[in-house]
């Protein structure tokens, strides 16, 4: 087209690798968005890209594989409510301890299977945050692991267990709120914003914290 340089001229002046990278950066996000919309997907991770074509070139077709993950299906075991009722019969238990035990029961009775890509992303993010924190204290990851007397694979296993529990608790709370129709009023959110204006930058956190409290209040009330 008028104003467009012929391909051979482009190849003479720009390296093929640069052209390939530019094409990927331009086309992949658009193609990914179209696929997500077409299939009504709700990804919660950035896609990983696998190049299936052995060698990319400007005069051949490319085969690429994009992998992402959606939130898993969440099922609450009815035994949760049986155990909560037993817990609520103990009137002498301290509120803080009771809240911790309720959280443990939610984790125990929330059935989910986390996609591996989601789990790996979270593990790598926590490791990256740990390394940054250690660097600010002039420490290395090796020193940290040596002090804890564990290996990196063992530390990754610990992180995986923590992350699985975190997701089970968060998704369990959300699922209980859905099943019990525990909704957040706009007035409640506005009241939080009025007290802490800085939280307007993270409304999702506010909604989650309010939902968490409603679920805990509900569970503490059943008998």
**The pLDDT value given to residue 7:** 56
In order of their start, the domains of the chain are 7-67 (no CATH), 75-221 (1.10.3120.10)
pLDDT in tens, 86-108: 999 998 899 999 999 999 999 99
pLDDT in tens, 156-196: 999 999 999 999 999 999 999 999 999 999 999 999 999 99
**The pLDDT value given to residue 79:** 97
Four-point Cα dihedral 104, 90, 175, 203, nearest 10: -80
Q: Which residues pair with 67 in a beta bridge?
A: 48
**pLDDT-based confidence at residue 5 (cuts at 50, 70, 90):** low
**Mean pLDDT for the chain overall:** 88
pLDDT in tens, 107-157: 999 999 999 999 999 999 999 999 999 999 999 999 999 999 999 999 999
**The pLDDT value given to residue 15:** 65
CB 101 within 8 A of CB 89: no
What pTM value is reported for the model?
A: 0.78
Q: Is 48 left (phi over 0), alpha (psi -120 to 50) or beta?
A: beta
**The pLDDT value given to residue 6:** 60
In this structure, what token pair is assigned to residue 60?
A: 């051949």
CB 55 within 8 A of CB 16: no
Least confident of 57-66, 70-79, 212-221: 57-66
């Amino acid at each position: 087209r008028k104003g467009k340089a012929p391909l051979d001229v482009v190849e003479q002046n720009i390296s093929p690798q640069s052209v390939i990278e530019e094409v990927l950066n331009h086309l992949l996000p658009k193609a990914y968005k179209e696929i997500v919309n077409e299939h009504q997907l709700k990804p919660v991770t950035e896609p990983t890209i696998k190049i299936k074509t052995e060698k990319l070139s400007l005069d051949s077709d490319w085969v690429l594989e994009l992998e992402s993950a959606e939130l898993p299906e969440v099922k609450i075991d009815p035994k949760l409510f049986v155990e909560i009722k037993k817990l609520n019969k103990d009137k002498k238990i301290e509120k803080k301890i009771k809240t911790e035990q309720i959280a443990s029961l939610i984790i125990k009775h929330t059935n989910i299977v986390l996609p591996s890509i989601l789990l790996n992303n979270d593990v790598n993010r926590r490791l990256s945050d740990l390394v940054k924190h250690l660097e600010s204290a002039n420490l290395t990851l090796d020193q940290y692991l040596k002090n804890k007397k564990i290996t990196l694979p063992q530390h990754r296993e610990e992180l995986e267990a923590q992350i699985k529990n975190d997701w089970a608790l968060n998704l369990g709370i959300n699922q209980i709120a859905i099943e019990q129709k525990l909704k957040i009023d706009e007035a409640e959110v506005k009241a939080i914003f009025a007290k802490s204006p800085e939280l307007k930058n993270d409304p999702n956190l506010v909604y989650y914290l309010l939902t968490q409290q409603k679920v805990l209040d509900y569970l503490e009330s059943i008998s």
